Amino acid sequence: MTQQISIPSDSVRLEGELIIPQDAVGVVLFAHGSGSGRLSPRNQFVAEALRNARIGTLLFDLLTEEEAADRDNVFDIGFLAHRLSDATSWLRGRRETRDCSLGYFGASTGAAAALAAAAQNRAVRAVVSRGGRPDLALRHLADVRAPTLLIVGGNDYGVIELNEQAYRALRCEKSLKIVPGATHLFEEAGALEQVAELASDWFARHLKTQGASELMTRETMVYSTRAQAGQMLARRLMPYANQNVVVLGVPRGGLPVAKEVADALGAPLDVVVVRKLGAPGQPELGIGAVVDGDHPRAIFNQDIIEHLGVSDEYIDAEIARQLKEVNRRESAYRGGRAKIPLMGKIAIVVDDGIATGSSIRAALRGVHRQKPKRLVLAVPVAPADTIEALRTEADEIVCLETPEDFFAVGQFYRDFHQVTDDEVRTILQTKQPAGAHPQA
């Protein structure tokens, strides 16, 4: 049974193809990598092999064409995992698949998304990574319970080492298979056939039909939009209404939330720009973060720095490069308007959510250097352990939700579209300090 399907996620629809063989033992969702999609010939080849083994397949586009044109989206593992989670929920809602056991097959960055999603969804019975970057989901790997197979080409130098790092971090049943002589795309004769055989055997062994009643369920707050989250957050912050307050949004996703807070409190709105410090050759892997071009403040992830052997010279150069981008963005967002002074005021830092906390920690320290009378962090959702780790960075933390099963901020929003620079500028233009209510 072949169906052309359209999966709702955020404000878009994701096109795909669902094929369920007769007497299927389960369904595997494919998470493609950078520069790829549901029509990837390599994934199509593996999918056909799975169907020959009586395993259903769902191949779909994680990103729309417009979203895929932004390279930041391709490496936004949390966003990709959110999309995969939405597709999983959609599949669970269909009569013909709601009782099927599920597996994830990921390639390149899609492998990290698959593992991040599997860490949160215990209904996933097996994961396979082909030439993947599971290291990009390093924070989530210890929480993965689904048996995981990592497949890497024997000549895919660099990626082998990253897979070995991820393999060590996994605590589930696991296997690392090297395909001799294969490069990253497994284009060599017979290489992709080996991938298909390994994947088919792994899924056939671990996918077992289960009833929907066996699935773990959990009630949690899911916001329709960032604006709704901001309105709910503002209710908790009303004791600060009409006081000497400045609301600071963290671009880009924090601005729609912060606008609602500023409107409710009668406060001016500004930005605090944070930039990740990327690892050598792996810009998506953060070794720290930096904030505030005038009074720079950097924090570092020493574990990653020591593990990668990052030199002081590289760190200094990366800080300078990212500070330049901080200054550029601050100027572009404000449109020539000066920063709002924070000395002696109540500064409320707002984001749409927190995952690891490294960037928001840098933001709080940057704001603290500007000597506000009181520093408040306000977010709709974050892991409980992250909030506890940030307690010493602010005078007060307001967080509406601290769910146990947390793998990405986007899982708590129905509409989690990527906020653009133009949206940030438009929000700030409508919230100029001169237009704010008088401050006490």
What is the rounded CA–CA span in Å between residue 73 and residue 83?
11
Residue keyed to tokens 């927190």: 354
Q: Would you say residue 247 has pLDDT above 90? A: yes
Q: Say what the pLDDT of residue 190 is.
A: 95
Cis (ω within 30 of 0) for the bond into 414?
A: no
Of 396, 362, 404, 365, the C-alpha closest to 379 is 396
Q: Using a pLDDT cut of 90, give the percent of the chain over it.
A: 55
357 contacts 389 by C-beta, under 8 angstroms:
yes
What structural domains does the chain harbor?
A: 2-214 (3.40.50.1820), 226-435 (3.40.50.2020)
352 contacts 380 by C-beta, under 8 angstroms:
yes
DSSP track, 328-365: HHHHHHHTTPPPPP-TTSEEEEE-S--SS-HHHHHHHH
What is the rounded CA–CA span in Å between residue 262 and residue 350?
10
* Cβ contacts of 327 within 8 Å, gap of 6 or more: 293
Q: Say what the pLDDT of residue 325 is.
A: 85
* Cβ contacts of 56 within 8 Å, gap of 6 or more: 18, 19, 20, 21, 24, 26, 27, 28, 50, 97, 100
| Tokens found for residue 383 | 């892991």
Helix (H) or strand (E) holding 378: strand 374-381
- Which of 211-220, 269-278, 428-437 shows the lowest mean pLDDT across its residues? 211-220
Q: Say what the pLDDT of residue 434 is.
A: 40
* Cβ contacts of 181 within 8 Å, gap of 6 or more: 153, 154, 155, 188, 191
How many C-beta neighbours within 10 Å does residue 219 have?
Answer: 6
- Mean per-residue pLDDT for 283-296? 73
Higher pLDDT, 326 or 4: 4
Residue keyed to tokens 């996620």: 9
**DSSP for residue 403:** -
| Tokens found for residue 9 | 């996620």
DSSP track, 63-96: S-HHHHTSHHHHT-HHHHHHHHHHHHHHHHTSTT
Helix (H) or strand (E) holding 374: strand 374-381
Q: Say what the pLDDT of residue 220 is.
A: 56
Give the three-state DSSP class for 282. Answer: strand
Higher pLDDT, 439 or 291: 291
Helix axes 421-429, 254-265, angle to 10 degrees: 10
Of 248, 166, 233, the C-alpha closest to 382 is 233
Q: Would you say residue 210 has pLDDT above 70? A: no
How much is the mean pLDDT over the chain?
87
Cut 0.75: pTM above it: no
117 contacts 81 by C-beta, under 8 angstroms:
yes
* Confidence class for position 218, pLDDT limits 50, 70, 90: very low
Q: Would you say residue 165 has pLDDT above 80? A: yes
Based on C-alpha coordinates, what's the Rg of the chain?
23
pLDDT per residue over 379-401, tens digit each?
Answer: 999 988 899 999 999 999 999 99
Q: Using a pLDDT cut of 70, give the percent of the chain over it.
A: 92
**DSSP for residue 431:** T
Of 401, 343, 408, the C-alpha closest to 121 is 408
113 contacts 119 by C-beta, under 8 angstroms:
no
289 contacts 277 by C-beta, under 8 angstroms:
yes
Of 398, 376, 351, the C-alpha closest to 244 is 376
What is the rounded CA–CA span in Å between residue 34 and residue 13?
19
Higher pLDDT, 220 or 253: 253
Give the three-state DSSP class for 202. Answer: helix
Of 10, 100, 116, the C-alpha closest to 416 is 10
